[in-house]
Amino acid sequence: MALITKKIKGTEDVLPKDSYRWQFVEDIMRRESQSYGFKEIRTPVFEHTELFARGVGQTTDVVQKEMYTFNTKGGESVTLRPEGTAGAARAVLEHALDNEGLPIKASYFVSCYRYEKPQAGRLREFHQFGLEEYGTQSPIADAELICAAQSIFDRLGVRQLRLEINSIGCPVCRAEYHSALKEYFEGHKDELCDTCISRLDKNPMRILDCKSPVCSAIAKDAPKIIDYLCDECKEHFASVRTYLDAAGVRYEVNPTIVRGLDYYTKTVFEFVTDFIGAQGTVCGGGRYDGLIEELGGKHLPSLGFAMGIERLLMLMDKQGIEIPKPSGCDLYVATMGENAVVRAFEIIKSVRDCGLVAETDVVGRGLRAQMKYADKIGAKFALVLGENEIEQGFASVKNMKSGEQTQLALNDTFAEKFSVLQLAYSDSFKL
C-alpha cells in the first residue's frame, strides 16, 4: 500500500537516532546563554501579518516573496514566522517587560518558515537559536552579544569561523548614504536585474545583497557605508571594536555587510565559514534601535542574533566534530513466563526511579530475541528473569561487555545495589 503522503518539500524530519545531536547543541546554547544572563522566551509560531510587514520591512525579500501568509476563518491575515526577532519584540511590548527592569535579555529556539528554493543549508522550515537584548544602547552590549555567540562556537569545538563586523549607521547618516548609493546605481540602471531596479528608490542598500553575479560585480565598487557614518556611529563602532579586542575576540571589518531585514542599525555582524558552500553564514545579528518604535512602543534600543541550527550541525559534520551519544540503556530485563513479566515491570520501575534507563520486552519476543535486542540497543547490563529466579529471590546481572555476572537479591534493595554496580561500570570507562 502506497503512503498517502510524504513530508513537504523543503522540510526535514529529525529521527530518534539523530535527535541527540540537536539536544546536545541546544543544551550548550542554553547553558552559555544563561551564563550571560539570558532567559528563554517562547512565542507563537504564527502572528498577525502586519507584525512582520512593519518589523521585518516591506522592501525585504522576506516580506515580498518568502512569507507563508493566509487568512483565518475569521478573516484575519496571519503569517508563519519567518524569523524570531519580531515575535520576541512584540511580546516585550505587549507584556510591558521593560517595567521589570532593563536590560531585558531573552533567548529563544524557534522554527521559521520561508518559501525559498530548497538547497543544502536552506530549507522552507528551519530552526534558529537567538539572543535578544532590549533597553541598552551601550557598545558593551554589542560586544557582549558577539562574545556570547563566540562562546557557543568554542564550546561546540567549531573552528575556522570568520567573524565579520560592520556598522550600517543610523537613520541620520544612512539617509546621506542612500543618496550616494542611488546616484551610483542610477549610472548602472540598464545592467541591474528587475528586482534591484525596484529596490533603487525604496531601499538601495538591498542591492548590495543581491545574489545576481552582474549586480554583485557592480556593487563591489559602490560607496561604502563606513565612509558615511556620523560621529556618534563612528564612536559607537570604535567602542565595539575596543571591547572585542579586550575580550580577545578576533574579527574582520567587512564594509559590504548589509542586512536583508529593515530594522537593523549601527552594528551588524556575521560568523562565516567556507566549509558548507554558498550558505556559509552560520550566525548573523546586530543592533536594531528603531524596531520597538516601529511596532508602536517607545524608544527602546535593542540588539540580537540568530544561529541556524541546521547549518551549524552541517558545519560540525563537515569538520568531523563528534557529538557524544546518550548513555543508552543501563539494564535490560529479559523475561520467561507471565510471572516474570510482572516482576520485571516492578524491577524496571524501581531502576528508573533511581534515574537510570531500564527496559524490558513489550512486543512478545522469545528469550533469544530479547537478548539480541538488548545487544542491539547497547544495554550495559542484562538480567534474565524466570520462575527459578523469582522462587530463589536472586538473579544474575550480566555485564554485556565483559560477560561478568553479579548476583543481586530481588528485593527492595535491588535498584540501589544495581545503581552502585552501574556507577562502578561508568567509572571504569572514565579511567
pLDDT of 54 > 90? The answer is no
Which residue has 560607496 as its cell numbers?
223
Based on the number of CB atoms within 10 Å of its own CB, is 19 exposed (0-12), middle (13-18) or buried (19 or more)? Answer: exposed
Asked if 218 and 194 count as a contact pair (C-beta separation under 8 A), the reply is: no
Query: Mean pLDDT across the stretch 21-37?
Result: 98
Q: How far is Cα 254 from Cα 269, in angstroms, rounded to an integer?
A: 9
Q: Is the dihedral of CA 260, 265, 266, 270 positive or negative?
A: negative
pLDDT of 236 > 60? The answer is yes
Instruction: Give residue-wise pLDDT tens across range 393-424.
Output: 999 999 999 999 999 999 999 999 999 999 88
Q: Is the dihedral of CA 328, 331, 337, 341 positive or negative?
A: negative
Who contacts 195 (Cβ-Cβ below 8 Å, separation ≥6)? 210, 212
Backbone angles phi, psi at 108, to 5 degrees: -155, 155
Q: What is the pTM of this model?
A: 0.91
pLDDT of 427 > 80? The answer is no
Instruction: Give residue-wise pLDDT tens across range 284-315.
Output: 999 999 999 999 999 999 999 999 999 999 99
Provide the pLDDT for residue 60: 64
Based on the number of CB atoms within 10 Å of its own CB, is 135 exposed (0-12), middle (13-18) or buried (19 or more)? Answer: middle
84 three-class SS = coil
Alpha helices of 48-166 — where are they, by DSSP H?
49-55, 61, 85-94, 139-156
Q: H or E segment at 244?
A: helix 231-247
Kindly state the cell numbers that stand for 370. 530479547
Provide the pLDDT for residue 269: 97
Which structural domains are found in the chain, ordered by start? Answer: 19-170+230-318 (3.30.930.10), 331-422 (3.40.50.800)
pLDDT of 106 > 80? The answer is yes
| Residue type, position 187, single letter | G
Query: Mean pLDDT across the stretch 336-361?
Result: 97
Kindly state the cell numbers that stand for 210. 543581491
Q: How far is Cα 217 from Cα 334, in angstroms, rounded to an integer?
A: 68
Query: Mean pLDDT across the stretch 256-280?
Result: 84
Beta strands in 18-103 (DSSP E): 39-40, 46-48, 69-71, 77-80
Residue 48 CB neighbours (<10 A): 13
**Residue 211 pLDDT grade (very low, low, confident, very high; cuts 50, 70, 90):** confident
Residue 199 CB neighbours (<10 A): 26
Q: How far is Cα 160 from Cα 150, in angstroms, rounded to an integer?
A: 12
Q: How far is Cα 39 from Cα 429, in angstroms, rounded to an integer?
A: 35
pLDDT of 91 > 90? The answer is yes
**Residue 342 pLDDT grade (very low, low, confident, very high; cuts 50, 70, 90):** very high
Q: Is the dihedral of CA 52, 55, 57, 62 positive or negative?
A: negative
Which residue has 531573552 as its cell numbers?
106
> What pairs with residue 110 in β-bridges?
128
| Residue type, position 354, single letter | C
Provide the pLDDT for residue 380: 97
Asked if 127 and 112 count as a contact pair (C-beta separation under 8 A), the reply is: yes
Number of helices (H) and strands (E), helices first, in the chain?
15, 16
Percent of the chain with pLDDT over 90: 82
Q: Among 126-140, 272-286, 393-407, 415-429, name the one with the lowest average pLDDT.
A: 415-429
> What pairs with residue 163 in β-bridges?
271
pLDDT of 278 > 80? The answer is no
Q: How far is Cα 357 from Cα 380, in angstroms, rounded to an integer?
A: 10
pLDDT of 373 > 80? The answer is yes
The candidate with the shortest Cα–Cα distance to 128, out of 151, 155, 153, 108, is: 108
pLDDT of 165 > 50? The answer is yes
How high does pLDDT run on average in the chain?
93
Q: How far is Cα 224 from Cα 258, in angstroms, rounded to an integer?
A: 10
**Residue 431 pLDDT grade (very low, low, confident, very high; cuts 50, 70, 90):** very low
> What pairs with residue 302 in β-bridges?
134
pLDDT of 235 > 70? The answer is yes
- DSSP state letter for 92: H
**Residue 261 pLDDT grade (very low, low, confident, very high; cuts 50, 70, 90):** low
| Residue type, position 180, single letter | A
Asked if 136 and 301 count as a contact pair (C-beta separation under 8 A), the reply is: yes
Provide the pLDDT for residue 61: 64
Residue 127 has, within 13 A of its CA and on its CB side, a CA count of: 15
pLDDT of 59 > 60? The answer is no
Pairing mode, if any, of strands 358-360 and 302-308? unpaired
Q: Among 218-222, 279-283, 339-343, 426-430, name the one with the lowest average pLDDT.
A: 426-430
